[in-house]
Structure 1
Amino acid sequence: MAEAAILFAVESLGNLLIEKVDFLGDVEEQVRWVKRELQRMQGFLKDANEKQAKNEIVRKWISEIRELAQDAEDVIETFILEIDNPRRRRGLLGRCACFPSHVYHLNKLGNEINLIKAQLEDIKKSRDTYKIEHIQGSFKRSYAAEQRKLSPWQRNKHLVGLDEDVKLLLERAILGEREGLSIASIIGMGGIGKSTLARAVYNHAEVAHRFDRRAWMVVSEQFDLTETIKELVLQLLEPNENKQEVLQTMKNFSEQQLKSILRDRLEGRRYFIVVDDVWRQQDWESLATAFPDEQDTSTRFLVTSRVQNIPRRARYVHEMKTLDPDKSWELLLKVAFDGNTCPRELEDIGREILTKCKGLPLAITVVGGLLLEQRQSRIGWEKVLQELNSHFEISGSSRIQSILELSYHDLPPHLKSCFLCLSFFKEDASIRASKLVYIWIAEGLISQEGEMTMEDISRSYLDELINRNMVRVKDLKKDGRVKSCQIHDLLHELSIRKAKEEINFEILKDRGNNTPQSLGYKPRHCAIYGSTESYNIFSTRGVNKHIRSLFFHGGGRDDVDCCPPYKWKSFRLLRVLDMEGLGLRKLPDTIVELVGLRYLGLRDNALEELPRSISRLKNLQVLDVFANYEIEVPNVIWEMDSLRHIYTFGFNREVPLKMDALKNIQTLKRIRGSKLMHRHLT
């Protein structure tokens, strides 16, 4: 499906026509024509999406329109950066001096728009040949989102049929009187509820009372021992300890030093630790060496895995079973009717839909989210059943994957685009809601509507994804808003697969895990997983002027700076750069060449200063340097008039910062008032 790509392009064209119309001259009407045609294409895509599964030619047509939409977005963004940034830097005389350059770039834009128009005409002709019809549709606010306003999310609201499982685990593995080490495991297929059961045990009142220390860690396929130990240590802090200071202390510790810190915090104490989503026996074994092995102290581990016999030393193995028909129905009622009864006229079709879920809790909750959107309409429920049957017929994937595919297919275009961005994060990551919201805005997915801020609109989109059970709440703020969220690993796999298809997303890990690039392939979003080899792959690739977002995950340190300066300079269209937790001591100088950058994530590094040239990032909306202790911030922030959110953790300045030009600022996190020049604040 190409809705996401077209939505991106239409947003860019719309912004150009609204904000830069004075610069367009004779090209304005051509830009409007392209925007209108792309908007009309969205109606035809609805029909094409229904036909593509059975028709290779239609799939190719969708791919062509997706590529064209992305190229149109590149052309528009490049034009804006070429004419706008020099004007914002040089003042009145500079703007006059820019006039010849403006004429050149306007002429270039006209030529490129004409090429896009010609391609669009060809696509329109082939559309008629393939008999792709226009289906009228309009965006309707999610019914689930409206329901969200009436009732807050409840923890364990989808907990069904686990009472006996919890009881067995407590009696046979967790609360027994036996001293010393005891390991239990929960095994079962993806989506069957292993983590949900483990969480119910973890939160049980008797468990909290019995053990001095509890911790929960996710291992997942991308296991990193040092990062896992750091996370464990942070969960085991004493109430009077400062989390940021401990994190800073551990920043450059070796693996053995980290293990020593962990043992010191656990020795002589009764502790219970959940190790969630273990994929390989060797991962468990390397982690197990970090814990003290004391025979006279009660120590309990609860491990979840899709794989049998992990860990091999488990004294008790609990194999998850699917829900029986009655429990499946109870769960569906909780999701689709908030625990109320089902209208009699819907019960027969509801139970037929349930047979497709085969008792898998994840499948039931996702289908329940689909049914909730139908407002108890029998026609709507029949449509869901028909689509389920259709997906099962044409899909070569498993039943649960087919259901998840349908849940994505059912999302409106704006939520599809937001869902695809979840692929940028690591598997099982705890995602800060504020970070996710800012990234959606930086990617250009959010438009201002009435009096609502873009941040408020973004949060409403997050609410919708949560109510559709595509995203789950991890923590709430005191005011009831989402503080952090997670995505189930099967849904994360879906987001990656769709992002690769629709927005040219690429993941770099190491040479053994990367797919060779085909000729003409243009990655527009990239996640790089922390190893020197993966950074080398990235740095030795050819110049990619199409890249829009770049995420570095784990490790790295100075490896990031191995990227040659000319390559950073080529990333003019880059909007999002996330280098959180890399251990950076110095920001690569050439980052200031990223004139299109809107989000710069530098949280949890070891940076000592920001360069004065950072003021050249005129489009930057979010500057996050939190947990870079006593960082030197130059007194040029006030020149960055697009800034909306600044996160820091104290900074060195004898002279207070001027902030008078920051008309859009909404967040100043951890900046003491004495560090600001108050008379400049507006």
Structure 2
Amino acid sequence: MAEGVVALLILKLGLALGRETSILGAKKLFHEATALSRLFQGIREVKEELEGMQSFLRGAERFKDTDETTANFIKKIRDLAFEIEDIVDEFTYMLEDRSHGALASKIVKRIKHIKAWRHLASKLEYIKLKIESADRRKVRYDMRGISSVAGNIDDCSTSSGNFAREEDLVGIGKNGELLTHWLKNNLEQQRSIITTVWGMGGVGKTTLVAYVYYAVKTEFDAAGWVTVSKSYLIEDLLKQIIRGFINNDPQEDLYNHIDFSTMRITNLIEHIRNYLHGKRYVLILDDVWAVDVWFKIRAAFPSDSTGRFVITSRIHEVALLATGNCIIQLEPLGPQHSWELFCKEAFWKNEEKVCPPELEIVAQKLLDRCSGLPIAIACLGRLLSFKEPSYDVWENLYKDVQSQLTNNVILDINVVLKVSLEELPHDLKNCFLHCTMFPEDYLMPRKRLVRHWLTAGFIRETSNKTMEDVANDYLHKLVNRSLLQVVERNRNGEVHTCRMHDIIRILGLAKSEEECFCRVYDGSRAFVAEGTRRLSIQSSNVNQLSQSGAPHLRHLYIFGSGLSIDSLTPFLKSFNLLSSLDLQGVNMKSLPHVVFKLYNLRFLGLRDTYIEIIPRSIGRLRHLEFLDAWNTKLTTLPEDIVQLQKLRYLNVYTIPEEADRKVVFFGGIRVPTGIVQLTSLQTLQLVEANTETVRHLGSLTQLRSFAVSKVRNEHCVDLCNAIMKMRHLVHLEITGIDEKEILLLEALRLPPSLSKLSLGGQLCGKSLSHLIFSLKRTNNLTRLTLIFSKLRDDSFSCLLNLHSLYVLHLFKAYEGKTLYFDATSFPKLKRLSIWDAPWLNKVDIEQGAMPNLVKLVLRDIPKLKTLPTGIEHLRLLEELELRDTSEDLIDKLRQKEPPIGCEAPKRIDHIKRVSIYGTQKNVKENIGRLQISNEQVLEEPSSTQLANIHL
């Protein structure tokens, strides 16, 4: 990780040097200017030295675990990089500090800082000498001697231990049968079929494939197994393939005498094709890391033969090489199979392989730490099998695992994770290690991760992508490498929340601490934060958290609503150089004054707190880029917010306590007119409209996400003109001052980039038709929410032309009596919600309409007495929710034996889950094929739940 630390530092040094002209160009005391010039010269020289060393570090990282000297060198460089970062951040801090206060105070600070500039310059010169000394010593390292050792690292995870005996296998079951079927099916046809097996490291891919391979290889004329390294060479891979086939063919004499070691690619391909000509063969390509492996070798396999290929990988893109649907994604074992595997490993010396009753409780606690990961269970079981089978011994081991004081349990797994980690570029590796700062089993929202990564400097903008786009790509790469697990996706298929497997997290934490990346305080033992760069507090008990100071801390994340900010205030006083402070969920109504002395702060998270006011001193945080105050008690922002010229993200959504529980209605907050000066803003939501602000919003041309509330019709012309200048807009929300307000939006032409649109207010026919025409041209809109729109039959028909929609919400927006969906309407729509339509009594769905609809919600429609006509055509519909429709419809669907001639239940028989809610009769039922239950009335969703639906 030294390379990652140095890369981030080089970027920071470049930013510091970028201020040289402006600082030295200002009027200064002679001695101050001299001292600053010397300091900038030192920064420049150190930057050049580190840039020259960066490529060496990239190679040295691979060998630090196999050579102690290399490891010590890397640690030395990392420590020196941290020292340099401290100097640069202290310099930045003092520059901001001297700019505050009265004139006399500023002069005193400038004179005082002259001595500081000289001191920092001297420290830089001394560090530079140490770097040069270390750089001279590195020539003594013979990397060639180490590489032969390191070359075997990749193969450690695929040792002979993975080829288990059949009686020791657990959980193979259906996957084994399926893989066997794909390999043996239609062998008489001359056709190649690729099957892929993928999942996180240690989940049992190789074990599964090995079991099937040895069971079916006799069905083929030729069989081979090749393990593909990350840094493979195509010649070497082809040589392994031909040798693999030959070594499994005892009757082959001709090829056994051929020397393949010096052959070129063309000759190797020719020999493989000749050998496989007319044969039925199976080839296993184990642990493939890149898609291009297949495309580079496929020419070697003849088309006049029957080939079966099995590829195992941790990478999702590789899995997509499969023919048709021949993909198996392996998941962690369930409780029963986990216990069975554990007992086989822990008690392999006993014929019964049964856990003694007195050990079952502690064994289960240990097993829970493995979360179903076969390699973790196997390693744990093997360790315990050589320990005394007593409760005290096992309990002590469990305590060690809990406190992470030993890694004996995870030695073998560490090799697996090591291979996965070392393949990652340093920026992506930083993003992965950052995820270990979240609590165990924590659902990590994609947007929160992205904001943290951006603040930490892990993401760099490319020529054709924003930093947010790059961060999203990084998240997908971590998911595709099985280092993160997707818990929920949004309606567009993007990751919404993810989590880290417990075993992966434990190993990641160990790696983070080893690399001085971050530490976690959970309240279980005394903790000194000194020397820590990143700290995650996951306990409301901070009594054991030393307040001796942590001047090196850059990032502080707090989890848990039980923690009071008062208990942290003394601790915060020593964090002068802090750049990220995330207080989400902390029980506080105001921010301590010390926060506004954190002049290096780039991220301030106040989400889900009780903050009522942000003081004017917020203007001191000149480097702030992210201010997240979603769901707080704020009603206004101070004038000084306009001094935050680097601010990119400002989210100040509020959810009023008196919010309509049927329709989500957010409150905005008042912002100063000068907010339009913050031209770096990419997110601004949710702010109250006023005449002066709306008139100048067009200056915010970088906005990607914009939400405005309390819009009056007299604002609409200026608002439309401003929005049309926002060429990068992806998410737009406009809400009127109340449900009677008419939004005059006929002049609005929406940008092609727009993906999500929410409108709250009455729409005249002209406004709606112009908007729909504008949206149809973009063909990118995937989510549309309309509130209070007063749509009728004719105006609703305009929406049917939005063929790109995935989600459509109509909240108190439809006033017609019938809804008609023709055969061509909404071909991609997956979710449709219609709430509070008081006159609607009939819904017609023509065959062919909404062919991909998955969920349909009809709520607060008292006159709807029948199911939608044509609902039986929605063959992909999985969920139907009916809430407070007519009592007649509810009664028909609730009856266990409907009256003769009533076809309603049969028309929805294909739907997996049908939920009926009748609050007047205290009815809630789930009917359908999955579950049938009678429960009490369902409580109304909270405002926060409604907010999530709306957003």
TM-score (norm 2): 0.44
Task: In structure 1, list runs of 5 or more residues that go unmatched.
Answer: 136-159, 168-189, 195-319, 337-343, 353-365, 379-383, 386-391
Contact 2:638 2:672 in 1 (8 A): no
Q: 1:473 aligns with which of 480, 483, 486?
A: 486
Cα 1:529–1:119 shift into 2, 3 Å? same
- 1:577 and 2:581 are equivalent in the alignment: yes
Contact 1:557 1:582 in 2 (8 A): yes
Cα 1:54–1:457 shift into 2, 3 Å? closer
Q: 1:30 aligns with which of 24, 36, 42?
A: 42
Displacement, 1:636?
2.8
- 1:409 and 2:422 are equivalent in the alignment: yes
Contact 1:4 1:414 in 2 (8 A): yes
Cα 1:30–1:348 shift into 2, 3 Å? same
Q: 1:114 aligns with which of 106, 113, 125?
A: 125
The corresponding residue for 2:602 is: 598
Displacement, 1:405?
1.0
SS at match of 1:570: coil
> Matched residues in 1 for 2:143 and 2:175: separation?
53
Contact 1:85 1:618 in 2 (8 A): no
**Quick check: 38-47 or 614-623, which moved more?**
38-47
Cα 1:111–1:675 shift into 2, 3 Å? farther
Displacement, 1:503?
3.1
Cα 1:92–1:611 shift into 2, 3 Å? closer
Cα 1:126–1:486 shift into 2, 3 Å? same
Contact 2:555 2:581 in 1 (8 A): yes
> Matched residues in 1 for 2:431 and 2:101: separation?
36
Cα 1:120–1:72 shift into 2, 3 Å? same
Displacement, 1:76?
0.9
Written as runs of structure 1 = structure 2, the 5 A alignment for 1:323-342 is: 323-325=208-210
> Matched residues in 2 for 1:660 and 1:166: separation?
63
Q: 2:616 aligns with which of 609, 612, 615?
A: 612
Displacement, 1:658?
3.6
The corresponding residue for 2:557 is: 551
The corresponding residue for 1:370 is: 289
Cα 1:564–1:624 shift into 2, 3 Å? closer
Written as runs of structure 1 = structure 2, the 5 A alignment for 1:97-246 is: 100=111, 103-131=114-142
**Quick check: 68-77 or 549-558, which moved more?**
549-558
Normalized per residue, the structure richer in helix is 1
> Matched residues in 2 for 1:503 and 1:104: separation?
31
- 1:671 and 2:687 are equivalent in the alignment: yes
> Matched residues in 1 for 2:450 and 2:213: separation?
34
Cα 1:495–1:672 shift into 2, 3 Å? farther
SS at match of 1:510: coil
Contact 2:670 2:687 in 1 (8 A): no
The corresponding residue for 1:221 is: none
The corresponding residue for 2:7 is: 7
Displacement, 1:322?
6.1
Deviations 1:343-397 (A, max 9, x none): x959959999xxxxxxxxxxxxx9857344767567xxxxx99xxxxxx9xx974
Aligned letter for 1:572? Answer: N
> Matched residues in 2 for 1:473 and 1:7: separation?
29
SS at match of 2:558: strand
Number of aligned residues: 469
Cα 1:614–1:515 shift into 2, 3 Å? closer
Contact 2:13 2:88 in 1 (8 A): yes
Contact 1:530 1:555 in 2 (8 A): no
The corresponding residue for 1:437 is: 450
Displacement, 1:620?
1.1
Deviations 1:266-286 (A, max 9, x none): xxxxxxxxxxxxxxxxxxxxx
Q: 2:675 aligns with which of 652, 659, 669?
A: 659
Contact 1:659 1:676 in 2 (8 A): no
> Matched residues in 2 for 1:485 and 1:83: separation?
40
> Matched residues in 2 for 1:39 and 1:584: separation?
44
> Matched residues in 2 for 1:191 and 1:54: separation?
22
Relative contact order higher in (CA < 8 Å, ≥ 6 apart): 1
Cα 1:430–1:132 shift into 2, 3 Å? same
Cα 1:111–1:70 shift into 2, 3 Å? same
The corresponding residue for 2:631 is: 627
> Matched residues in 2 for 1:660 and 1:508: separation?
41
SS at match of 2:573: helix
Displacement, 1:460?
2.5
> Matched residues in 1 for 2:548 and 2:674: separation?
41
> Matched residues in 2 for 1:8 and 1:86: separation?
26
Cα 1:407–1:549 shift into 2, 3 Å? same
SS at match of 2:486: strand
Displacement, 1:550?
0.7
> Matched residues in 2 for 1:373 and 1:411: separation?
17
SS at match of 1:677: helix
- 1:587 and 2:591 are equivalent in the alignment: yes
SS at match of 2:531: coil
The corresponding residue for 1:529 is: 538
- 1:563 and 2:568 are equivalent in the alignment: yes
SS at match of 1:461: helix
> Matched residues in 2 for 1:162 and 1:368: separation?
22
Deviations 1:117-137 (A, max 9, x none): 1111221233234445899xx
Cα 1:162–1:82 shift into 2, 3 Å? farther
Contact 1:470 1:487 in 2 (8 A): yes
Displacement, 1:75?
0.8
Deviations 1:223-244 (A, max 9, x none): xxxxxxxxxxxxxxxxxxxxxx
> Matched residues in 1 for 2:102 and 2:464: separation?
32
Normalized per residue, the structure richer in strand is 2
Contact 1:420 1:495 in 2 (8 A): yes
Displacement, 1:679?
3.3
Displacement, 1:193?
6.2
Cα 1:629–1:83 shift into 2, 3 Å? closer
> Matched residues in 1 for 2:591 and 2:288: separation?
44
Cα 1:21–1:436 shift into 2, 3 Å? farther
> Matched residues in 2 for 1:51 and 1:68: separation?
20
Cα 1:164–1:406 shift into 2, 3 Å? closer
> Matched residues in 2 for 1:12 and 1:350: separation?
51
> Matched residues in 2 for 1:675 and 1:603: separation?
29
TM-score (norm 1): 0.60
> Matched residues in 2 for 1:474 and 1:461: separation?
17
> Matched residues in 1 for 2:85 and 2:484: separation?
28
CA RMSD of aligned residues (A): 4.5
Displacement, 1:549?
0.5
Aligned letter for 1:76? Answer: V
Task: In structure 2, list runs of 5 or more residues that go unmatched.
Answer: 24-35, 147-170, 179-199, 217-224, 230-236, 246-284, 298-312, 315-378, 380-406, 655-666, 700-951
Aligned letter for 2:14? Answer: G
> Matched residues in 1 for 2:239 and 2:500: separation?
30
Aligned letter for 2:566? Answer: D
The corresponding residue for 1:180 is: none
Aligned letter for 1:52? Answer: K
SS at match of 2:57: helix
Displacement, 1:656?
5.5
Deviations 1:530-574 (A, max 9, x none): 232xx2233x3311111011111114342x312344x42321211
